[in-house]
Structure 1
Amino acid sequence: MALIKLKNITKVYGAEKDLPTYALDSVDLEIQEGEMVAIMGPSGSGKSTLLNIIGCLDKPTEGEYFLNGDEVSQLNRNQLAKVRNMQIGFVFQHFALLADHTAQENIELPLIYRGQFSTKISRDDREVMAVEMLKQVGLKDHNYKRPSELSGGEQQRVAIARALVGEPNMLLADEPTGALDQKTGEGIMELLVNINKQGKTVIIVTHDPKVAAHCSRTIRMEDGKIISYDDNGKIE
């Protein structure tokens, strides 16, 4: 069974019935557990909209989305929030860290929110989990630094730790190296590859062919449609 299965997913924007804007147009897609997939395409091709629907940040206008065999495309806002918190980790181009929180506090945030949907995690347990994640992303002893005290690459590592601390099924990354220099971006990609090797499904939206080359498959989009599925050798 595929981890992700999209059937005839369409996303239409605009209130004008005569002039609809199709961000996604009848998209079918399957992604297996443990894959590392890149989504590429020009601006306006629908790749970020597709990632948002996969991440339950948005709902399709039409079609069905099955996550782990469960149909999630018609869930309400609270139900989608639970799916996001319990099953999906997010990494964004500009890190999205809270400036007045330390690295450790930023990482703990998803665990605090989880108390709305599941058993509350104690403060001591949250601290232990956050500290362990900082070690895993190579930021031991950075617990109490705020984002302004970290480099861009370090901020992205904190964001990755935050995405992974709740042990999600998959990690979604929207241009994760876009705000970084080439060398720092390569370090982030090495980290994402290692995360994938540990069994996590990783899906990356990118404009950069060098980023896509780290993935086992590249999905190319244009005008809201998938135009090709390219298998490519993953860089080790």
Structure 2
Amino acid sequence: MSVRDCVLIGIEGTHAAGKTTLVHALTAHYRQRGVQVDCTGEPARTSPFIEEIVIHGKGTFDLATEVDLFAQQLSMTLRTARHNKLLICDKNVVNVLAYARMVLPAADASHDADVLDAMAHFCRAWAPTYDAVFYLPDRYPDPADPFRAKVTHLQDQTAEAVRRTHAEVGLPLVEVPGGLGTPERIDWIARRVDPLLAGQPAILRQRDRTADPPS
């Protein structure tokens, strides 16, 4: 199910997986082919809440921060999809839910827990909106990035949480082979996205898909 006939794909992975690099390169690839395409960035990069916490060291992750990220992820997706044939998203709302569960110590029956449950329920209903979500297993640490340096130690925990939450809400992840360079990643993904642009089902073999966290 697309957003107003715009094919919607997501790029997922843990911290420093090369998601943003791939999103922009993939967008350029389709623009060069004449496809009306755009991409969305990672909401945390422009969030004033995250800036206060990560850059200025003020406050902690709280419910307001996570709800703002959740809403911004949805709003950016809907607004950018309006006039495009293809939209490539850096993460998706399920990712926001996975992170929120990691950083919020929500006690049972608390207000925070109720809101997280509501977010999970929405994600289950919203999951069919995405035509495909691709997961990048690689990691490219960059300690010079202040956002990334703060969370690099959470790579394993994040990877497990992202995989588990996608499986829980019923949004399959399409596993991109590890060790590919950007051109090879583009080629691999494009061969699966092109049928969607032509109005055909994506060519996704069973071994491409993963819905479970690694053992």
TM-score range, shorter chain: 0.3 to 0.5
State which structure, 1 or 2, has the greater radius of gyration over its C-alpha atoms.
1
Structure with the larger helix share:
2
TM, length-normalised to structure 2 = 0.40
Structure with the larger strand share:
1
TM, length-normalised to structure 1 = 0.37
